[in-house]
Each structure stands twice: as C-alpha cells, then as structure tokens.
Amino acid sequence: EKHFSEDLPLKGKKITITAGPTYEAIDPVRFIGNHSSGKMGYEIAKRAMQLGAEVTLISGPTHLNIDENKIELIRVTSTREMYEAAHSKFGDTDVFIAAAAVADYKPKMVADQKIKKNDDSLTLELTKTEDILASLGKIKSGQKLIGFALETNNEEENARKKLEKKNLDFIVLNSLNDQGAGFKGDTNKISIIYPDRKKDFQLKSKKEVAADILNEIVELLDA
Ligand code: CTP
Ligand code: CA
C-alpha cells in the first residue's frame, strides 16, 4: 500500500475530540443526561485518523466503539471528568474539537443513598457545570480550537457569540430546524462560521460532515 503525503495531510498532528453526552449524578442510581449519540464526534475521530493525525477521543457514555489500536480512547462520565481529561491533553494538542453535548447543570448535592419516594413533589437544586471549551479558549496558545453550536432560534447570531466568547477558530452550527438534522440522527446540516465568513453545507451523513469539517481543519493548519 502506497501513501503520498497529500493522502495524509494531518501526519504529525495531534487532535483531541470530545464526544457524546455527559451524565451528572443525582444519587447512586440516577443521573441527568441527554440524547446525544456521540456519532458526530466518533466520525470526526475516525476521519482525522484516516488523514494521518494522532487522535485522542474523550467520550462520554455512548454505545459506540472505535478501534483502540488506532485511536486513544478516554472514557468519562461526568462533565468534571471530561474537563480533567481535556485539560490533561490540551498542552500536547494541535487541534481540539469539542463535539460533546455537555450537561450545562448538575445537582448541587449528590445524595449518597438512593432518594426515597416520599412527598408529592421533589425539588432538585442545580448548579452550573464547568464550561470545558471556554476554559480551553482562555488558555490556548497556538492550538486550533473548534466548537459546535446547536441552536433553534437566532442561529447565526447565537453561534457567533459562542465563537467569540469561547475564543474559537471556527464553530460548526447545527440547525435543529432542518429536517433530518440534529444530534440523535445519522445526518446533519451544518454551517461553518469563522470570525469573518461563513460556509453553508448540504444535508449529509455524519460521516460526510466529518470529512467536510476535517477539510476545513487542513486548510486552517495550512493557512
Ligand atoms: N461545551 C463545553 N462545556 C460545557 C458546555 C458546552 O465544552 N459545559 C462546548 C460544547 O461541546 C460545544 C460548545 O461548547 O462545542 C457549545 O455548546 P452549547 O451547548 O451549544 O453552548 P453553551 O455554551 O452550553 O450555551 P447554551 O447551551 O446556553 O446555548
Ligand atoms: Ca449547553
């Protein structure tokens, strides 16, 4: 098998990706989570590996598998664990892609025993989780930093705010308004938003979307 350098444009590059949901414990048997399948992040990891990159995938709970001989897989459950894994890799990463659907809030107190059914209503007090991507944006020094945004209204404006606030190189806007797009299914319709421009893409499989995103990253590293 012959490989030319243009086949492996990411050879020598280190890429770290977050994928899937995070789970926040309520008690020993219950959690707050979301329906993210992790598919987008896993497809990005596979494509980056095919293009020659050294890939680390930090994954929340999913049913997906990946070839661990070719991709370093760090499994995490909570946002705190994902945050710690992300920071442990960030100093030695060229490109960081945050594809995870991170929980925004977690229970303020985690019960150490299973909560019993007593009163007619139960109130859980929640507190914000760490914003992993924003924390990396504050310390980045040469790394390319890429985020995702899932919006239902004022999509471009909201995505641009995240791009700026989190100090990203570009953000992938995922529209829930489009048929067949979303974080549960197998297809996505994205726009890639840069500080000074925007590119719109057709509805495609997540595998094809991953290829489009990696093309942008190759261009970004070449620029
Ligand atoms: N993100 C993160 N850590 C968090 C929340 C989000 O790293 N605690 C990352 C996601 O992986 C994604 C980007 O930030 O790449 C945007 O996530 P999103 O949920 O769209 O935005 P939020 O900043 O959480 O704002 P909101 O949910 O209110 O729209
Ligand atoms: Ca969020």
> Which residues are close to ligand 2, an ion, with C-beta < 5 A?
104
Is 168 a pocket residue for ligand 1 (Cβ < 6 Å)?
A: no
Q: Which residues contact 154 (CB under 8 A, 6 or more apart)?
A: none
| Predicted TM-score (pTM) of this structure | 0.95
The DSSP secondary-structure symbol of 197 reads -
Residue 114, in any domain of the structure? no
Centroid of ligand 1 to alpha carbon of 131 (angstroms): 7
Give the range of the structural domain holding residue 46, as residue numbers without chain letter: 5-105+126-222
Task: Determine if residue 162 is labeled as part of a ligand binding site.
Answer: yes
Residue 137, in any domain of the structure? yes
Residue 172, in any domain of the structure? yes
Q: 138-171: per-residue pLDDT in tens?
A: 999 999 999 999 888 899 999 999 999 999 999 9
pLDDT in tens, the chain (223 residues): 555 556 799 999 999 999 999 999 999 999 999 999 999 999 999 999 999 999 999 999 999 999 999 999 999 999 999 999 999 999 999 999 999 999 999 999 999 999 999 999 999 999 999 999 999 999 999 999 999 998 888 999 999 999 999 999 999 998 765 555 556 678 889 999 999 999 999 999 999 999 999 999 999 999 8
Residue 111, in any domain of the structure? no
For residue 188, what is the domain's CATH number? 3.40.50.10300
In the chain, the number of structural domains is: 1
Ligand nearest to the CA of 150: 1
Centroid of ligand 2 to alpha carbon of 104 (angstroms): 5
Task: Determine if residue 31 is labeled as part of a ligand binding site.
Answer: no
For residues 61-90, one letter each, b for 16 or more C-beta atoms within 10 angstroms of the residue's C-beta and e for the rest, the string is: bbeeebeeeebebbebbbbebbbbbbeebb
Centroid of ligand 1 to alpha carbon of 2 (angstroms): 41
Residue 118, in any domain of the structure? no
Q: Which of 34, 44, 95, 131 has most ligand 1 atoms within 8 Å of CB, for mutation?
A: 131
ipTM of the modeled complex: 0.99
Residue 189, in any domain of the structure? yes
Residue 110, in any domain of the structure? no
CA distance 32 to 21: 10
Residue 11, in any domain of the structure? yes
